[in-house]
Structure 1
């Protein structure tokens, strides 16, 4: 499990660790890890040109000490000091190894820019002199120290100017801004340097492949189709029969023992999925709403009457009220905005807070779709999905996702686990089938069995 801790949690853990270490030892660990990551990015250190943008905190100190390490290895290192309070020991070390202090306009065109402007304690946004220094060398790779300067570390928000890094080297643990968009998009690739911190549980986490493998329901030797779970699908309509086909495709990936379909697109479902049973019967979970059009309100009422866990998607979302049952709501930003009477831009700017608000308001697990999908529980716990590729932004992908989550609910997972495991599998299957290029939503469903098989090897 990848955990994302808050600034205060990190500071408390660092303070505890430093009590047993010589002064400056923790910064040396961080700087050495940072220098190693920069060297790996450069490929060859000797003769490389490195530009440090240095603020006044420990973040700037990490950059200066890392610069000293790189200078010792033969790099040409220049530092632009953006504060009168640059870390004195780090600056002395850099100068002792041949590094130079320059102004932004004097700096040579570097091979890499190191963003040591603002650390995890900084406020969102950048001062004009930092913006100007960053603008001097467009197109040069940027390595952020701990977090991209200017983002809100604990929320993932970005307000005003901020660094857009190609690589972020962070220390001790991931922070919320590394996982939650839009800040996570600004972080680029994130590399973690272990500092040996003793950290508490984190409220924001991201499942990894081993976590998903451990959570997946697996059939035993005496199981049959009914004991493995039956998932019912109330999706599609006369206007949108394809949604029913795609939703049942997601449900019929083998994660549950059986799929029942009840809706207006029965002929299309029979033709595409002969293994799906059309008609009534008992189920352990429902999936409702994908392409439901005018049928969605009644479909939701019928599903909720059964009192089983239910995935509510697309057209059914507008009919959800606070329910308190085992619901998984799967809106995109526009749908969630309507559910909370917000503007879409507000949801996209502050997804973590809005997803938590929605989960608390509706008493349900809320899956907010996006580049990094958020799965929020009413108690505030959030899982972030980091699997997937941009090609997954295609019509019908959400219908498949709803079906996958429904099959996991029917298989016995609770709503939070079903939504987060289903989202991870959906992204991983898309990555597999995309292979770097375009994909179809139905192909994502087809790739789920292979994705699961590889997880369980």
Structure 2
């Protein structure tokens, strides 16, 4: 598991630790870890050209001290001070004492074998300031290593509101920052290295499950299991106009661990022809037979409201997607109030914007994509449901405030019907008994791995390719 903490939590923990350590000891710990990572990125340290982009404050100090360590090993270290009057005095003195020097030649950025981004740290907000902004567009020779967070990326949210320096590697101290795990910020962070510096931190507000965490969640049938004990997932999806959504949702559900899939909707003939193991009903969720969870909405068309209401009237978890989300946004969160079982919502950015409008928060898909943590948390709180916000970084948030992020996917997952497969998969995991938070997290992880398996080295895929790749994705975690 990766844990990420907000800036105020990190600041509090740093203050407590610095009070117990000799002055400057905490910065030296950070600089030592940073220098070690940089040394590993260089073919050799001796003779390499290292440039520090040094802003004011401790972030610049970390970078200057790290460069001093590299200079003592023979690197040609230079510092370009973006605000000379506010440069970290002790770090600058250490660099000079080690043989480094200050330069005002911006062209050194393109000649350096390695650049340390020490412009702004976790205290920074907003885009790069004018003095630093040109470096965001400059060509570089060697890797850029961000100190704690790439300058121009919001550490708490991952928002990028203007010019930002794109790093090849980010070395973060003590804990991950949420902005390093969530797009668009994650796309600027490159490979993230965590350097532990001894912080005593509270429970993390943002988590990122790793393969072993997901494997531990996946259901494993026992020797006495049968299809009913393993759970039955109901799928109310598809319409005369969109029968394919039903096929794809069922395809995902069949590969999600439940013992059986019960389908109700207009695409029954197509579903049973493609998936003969599916149990078929034309009675709707209210009378389709016993299930342990419902998936409602993919391709539901005009019948989505009726199917949603019937499913919500049951006493089992309900996953609402696609047309069911449109209806929920129109009807409002009161529709979910008082349910004896939980609800899982799986919107993409556009559907999330509609859900937010349904509670008076008017925005658009672009804003949702740029502010993923904010959008997922707000929808979860206002609707009293767990939310799986789809996108390049999937964000899962529950009403209690727990947030998980997932980035196992690939751009090839952006294909028609991919979300229908994800809905069926997550609903199946719900039916096996996982909580909405765990079902959504595991489904997002598996779905992303399946996309990678299907795309291989890089080729277009279809939603059915993703469904077919769920089995090897599952095996890659449990094998």
Please classify the TM superposition score into its range, dividing by the shorter chain length: over 0.9
**Counterpart in the other structure of 1:177:** 179
Going from structure 1 to structure 2, the CA distance change for 1:275 and 1:43 (only over 3 Å counts) comes to farther
2-structure distance, mates of 1:327, 1:128? 47
Does the CA contact (< 8 Å) of 2:395 and 2:406 recur in 1? yes
> Does the 8 Å contact 1:105/1:136 carry over to 2?
no
Taking the TM superposition and a 5 Å limit, the aligned residue runs for 1:60-75 are 60-75=60-75
Among candidates 302, 305, 311, match of residue 297 of structure 1: 305
1:336 aligns with 2:358: no
**2:150 corresponds to:** 148
2: CA distance between counterparts of 1:451 and 1:136? Answer: 39
Q: For 1:374, what is the secondary structure of its paired residue?
A: strand
Partners of 2:390 and 2:236 in 1: CA distance: 21
Equivalent pair of 1:364/1:377 in contact (CA under 8 Å)? yes
1:52-78 superposed Cα distances (whole Å, 9 cap, x missing partner): 100111110111111112222222211
Is 1:353–2:383 an aligned residue pair? Answer: no
Normalised by the length of structure 1, the TM-score is 0.96
Q: Secondary structure at the match of 2:193?
A: strand
Unaligned runs of 5+ in 2: 282-287, 358-362
Between the aligned partners of 1:424 and 1:196, the Cα distance in structure 2 is: 30
Q: Which moved further from structure 2: 446-455 or 237-246?
A: 446-455
| Superposed displacement of residue 138, structure 1 | 4.6
Match of 2:236 in 1: 234
Distance 1:135 1:291, change over 3 A: closer
Which one is further off, 120-129 or 439-448? 439-448
- Which residue of structure 2 lines up, in the alignment, with residue 194 of structure 1? 196
- Give the structure 2 partner of residue 443 of structure 1: 465
Residue 94 of structure 1: aligned partner: 95
Contact 2:47 2:74 in 1 (8 A): yes
* Displacement after TM superposition at 1:224 (Å): 1.1
> What pairs up with 1:356-371 in 2 under 5 angstroms?
356-371=377-392
- SS of the equivalent of 2:50 reads strand
Pairing of 1:102-141 with structure 2 (within 5 A): 102-105=103-106, 107=108, 109-138=111-140, 140-141=142-143
CA distance in 2, matches of 1:129, 1:414: 49
Matched residue, 2:284: none
Deviation at 1:434, TM superposition (A): 2.2
- The alignment partner of 1:201 has SS state of coil
Offset from partner CA, 1:64-117 (integer Å, 9 cap, x none): 111112222222211101121212221122112221200143636212221100
Work out the CA distance in 1 between the residues paired with 2:370 and 2:12: 28
What does residue 390 of structure 1 align with?
411
- Report if the CA contact (8 A) 1:259-1:277 is conserved: yes
Match of 2:33 in 1: 33
Relative to structure 2, which stretch is displaced further, 365-374 or 289-298? 289-298
* Structure 2 equivalent of residue 454 of structure 1: 476
Between the two proteins, the alignment pairs up a number of residues equal to 457
* Pair 1:307 & 2:328 matched: no
Aligned partners of 1:53 and 1:133 also within 8 Å: no
Query: Corresponding residue for 2:45?
Result: 45
- Take 1:143 and 1:201, find their aligned partners in 2: how far apart are those partners? 28
For the 8 Å contact 1:104–1:133, the answer to whether it is kept is no
Report the CA distance shift for 1:107/1:450 in structure 2 as closer, same or farther (over 3 A): closer
**Rounded Cα–Cα distance in structure 1 between residues aligned with 2:8 and 2:256:** 44
List alignment gaps of at least 5 residues for structure 1: none
Contact kept, 8 Å, 1:237 with 1:264, in 2: the verdict is: yes
TM-score normalized with structure 2 length? 0.91
Contact 2:238–2:246 (Cα < 8 Å) also in 1:
yes
The superposition leaves residues 110-161 of structure 1 with CA deviations (integer Å, 9 ceiling, x where unpaired) of 1222110001112222211111355554565321110011222222222222
Distance 1:17 1:277, change over 3 A: same
More displaced, 426-435 or 225-234? 426-435
Q: Let me know the Cα RMSD of the aligned residues.
A: 1.7
In the TM superposition, what whole-angstrom CA distance separates every residue of 1:364-407 from its partner, at most 9, and x where no partner exists?
A: 11111111111111122211012111211111110010001000
Query: How many Å apart are 1:432 and its aligned residue?
Result: 2.5
Contact 1:104/1:136 (CA < 8 Å) preserved in 2?
Answer: no
Quick one: which of 293, 296, 315 aligns to 1:288?
A: 296
